[in-house]
Chain A
Amino acid sequence: MKKVKFVEHIRPDVTTDIVYMMCPMHLLKLDEMMGKLQKGQILELLTDYDGALEDIPEWCEKTGNEFIGVDETDDYFKFYIRKTA
């Protein structure tokens, strides 16, 4: 597993809340939302699924989008992805 980069105070353009939704909704929703974003815009994806820590950076690498990093709260993660592809 790659080392996950932790970030703070990122200002997203769009937020999608999939907390408590089951795997692999994080990848399906990510794909769906990135299709709706303009190039350069940032998506914030909220999920409690820890497998996303591995899956989302990998997905970004595979699809050529920029994985900005993760922020953590008590109950869930906030993933930040910039659409670059």
Chain B
Amino acid sequence: MQCYFDHVATTPLRPEVLEAMMPYFKEEFGNPLSIYPLGTNAREAVERAREQVAGLVNAKSTEIIFTSSGAEANNFALRGIAFARQHEGRHIIVSRMEHHSILNSARFLEKMGFTATYLPPDRHGLIDPEAVRKAITDETILISVIHASPEVGTIEPVREIAAIARERNITFHTDAVASVGNIPVDVKELGADLLSMSAHQFNGPKGAGALYLREGQRIIPLIFGGIQEGGRRAGTENVPAIVGMGRAAEIAKAELPHRVDGIRRLRDRLIEGIMKMEAVHFTGHPEQRLPGHASFCVEYIEGEGMLLMLAAKGIYVASGSACTSKALKSSPVLLSMGIPTHVAHGSVVFTLGADNTEEQIDYALEEFPQVIKRLRELSPFSKGWGDIEEGGTCIPKK
């Protein structure tokens, strides 16, 4: 049996989405800036997609800027706002729950002479809005806090943080890549000035993302060039991917109300089953979390081993974020939540989507304990943890 439980890494492309994209790979290959019919057809398709994406997050279509990815949208937001407002102040606030595209943009801004505050979460991964308030200085121009964590599933109190930012005339951005298309997201209700999203997180194609930019907000482009995207993001539009993002947004909007409960039910069964195992810790917030997200730390073994052994059985999961899985690093997000390094190494993340079934959950609950048992037998820590050396390295119990 093949069970894809890594929907936070990417989601399968819906056949209807591919169908909508196909003409723009083939006969409708025009450049949206060309003024003859081939071009105007492409232009109309892009503008239709803009309306569909705007509809998913309750924005105006003129407030949507297409990008190549969620990471680009995050880079654009941080750098674009920081540089546009630098004459008003040079301090930014981000959380330690952020994706690398935010954290590394913040680090880049520090090199450019800005100062940055990195707010730690609590043990559930929550950022305290009052801590945000306390971190604000007269120099603060931008706050960015992730909407939902792809690593631990926690949904942040973004609305409260946005309200604090607004009181102080500070621009507020949220990275909603993991949430848009998976839970209802309304930019007006959240009060965000900017919000990032990515098509392949909601059954759209890779290579398409978008930044919501509230009307009236100035931003300095990340990519200079022509007048695409209202003179804010240059480069000939990736028309097929944008069309696919639009169609996927339309489907997500229509199906979300029915989809969430079923996914949550499967997730809760999975959590219940896994938590019966010994020395397994649930990570993230127990209630305030993404409906398809189940994340754990399994003691005495490493995430990498679990991933490989589960993959051999057709079960595909992640350990930490997709990036940290690949780099075999302990997740900085887990460490910032106070999880010790040796425990964070055993991180495993199941993220479910609409394509998962009860049978797949049964199969995973049957196989996962066996994988853990086998890996623990092989582990130098099979007898438990010994001393912890300086730097967090753990010595096996004798």
Residues of A within 8 A of B (CB): 17-25, 28, 74-75
Residue of B nearest to A49 (CB): B231
Q: Is the CB of A21 within 8 A of B84?
A: no
B226: contacting residue among A18, A19, A22, A75, CB under 8 A: A22
Residues of B contacting A25 in the complex (Cβ-Cβ under 8 angstroms)? 227, 230-231
27 A-B pairs in the complex with CB atoms less than 8 angstroms apart? A17-B216, A17-B218, A18-B231, A19-B218, A20-B218, A20-B220, A20-B221, A20-B232, A21-B230, A21-B231, A21-B232, A22-B221, A22-B224, A22-B225, A22-B227, A22-B231, A22-B234, A23-B227, A23-B231, A24-B227, A25-B227, A25-B230, A25-B231, A28-B227, A28-B231, A74-B87, A75-B87
Query: Does B365 interact with chain A (Cβ within 8 Å)?
Result: no
A51 CB to nearest B CB, Å: 13
Tell me the residues in window 81-95 of chain B with beta carbons closer than 8 Å to chain A beta carbons. Answer: 84, 87
Query: Does B20 interact with chain A (Cβ within 8 Å)?
Result: no
Cα–Cα, bound, A24→B226 (Å): 8
B212-244 toward A: CB 8 Å interface, digit per residue (1/0)? 000010111100111100111010000000000
Residue of A nearest to B226 (CB): A22
Tell me the residues in window 51-98 of chain B with beta carbons closer than 8 Å to chain A beta carbons. Answer: 84, 87
Residues of B within 8 A of A (CB): 84, 87, 216, 218-221, 224-227, 230-232, 234
A68 CB to nearest B CB, Å: 24
Q: Is the CB of B227 within 8 A of A20?
A: no
Cα–Cα, bound, A40→B232 (Å): 31
B232: contacting residue among A22, A24, A75, CB under 8 A: A22
Cα–Cα, bound, A28→B33 (Å): 13
Closest 3 CB pairs of A and B: A25-B231, A21-B231, A22-B231
Residues of B contacting A75 in the complex (Cβ-Cβ under 8 angstroms)? 87
Cα–Cα, bound, A23→B224 (Å): 10
Cα–Cα, bound, A75→B84 (Å): 10
Residues of A contacting B221 in the complex (Cβ-Cβ under 8 angstroms)? 20, 22
Residues of A contacting B219 in the complex (Cβ-Cβ under 8 angstroms)? 20
Residues of B contacting A17 in the complex (Cβ-Cβ under 8 angstroms)? 216, 218
B228 CB to nearest A CB, Å: 9
Cα–Cα, bound, A75→B86 (Å): 11
Q: Give the one of B216, B230, B234 with max A CB within 10 A.
A: B230
Residue of B nearest to A25 (CB): B231
A22 CB to nearest B CB, Å: 4
Q: Give the one of B84, B220, B230, B231 with max A CB within 10 A.
A: B231
Residues of B contacting A19 in the complex (Cβ-Cβ under 8 angstroms)? 218
Cα–Cα, bound, A26→B247 (Å): 32
Residues of A contacting B216 in the complex (Cβ-Cβ under 8 angstroms)? 17
Cα–Cα, bound, A22→B229 (Å): 10
Cα–Cα, bound, A19→B74 (Å): 21
Residues of A contacting B218 in the complex (Cβ-Cβ under 8 angstroms)? 17, 19-20
Cα–Cα, bound, A70→B89 (Å): 27
B273 CB to nearest A CB, Å: 52
Cα–Cα, bound, A25→B220 (Å): 14
Residues of A contacting B227 in the complex (Cβ-Cβ under 8 angstroms)? 22-25, 28
A37 CB to nearest B CB, Å: 19
Residues of A contacting B234 in the complex (Cβ-Cβ under 8 angstroms)? 22
Residues of B contacting A74 in the complex (Cβ-Cβ under 8 angstroms)? 87
Cα–Cα, bound, A18→B224 (Å): 15
A14 CB to nearest B CB, Å: 14
Residues of B contacting A24 in the complex (Cβ-Cβ under 8 angstroms)? 227
B218 CB to nearest A CB, Å: 5
Cα–Cα, bound, A28→B226 (Å): 12
Residues of A contacting B224 in the complex (Cβ-Cβ under 8 angstroms)? 22
Residue of A nearest to B217 (CB): A17
Cα–Cα, bound, A18→B215 (Å): 11
Sample of 11 more A-B contacts, CB < 8 Å, known A17-B216, A21-B232, A22-B226: A17-B218, A18-B231, A20-B219, A20-B220, A20-B232, A22-B221, A22-B231, A23-B227, A25-B227, A28-B227, A28-B231
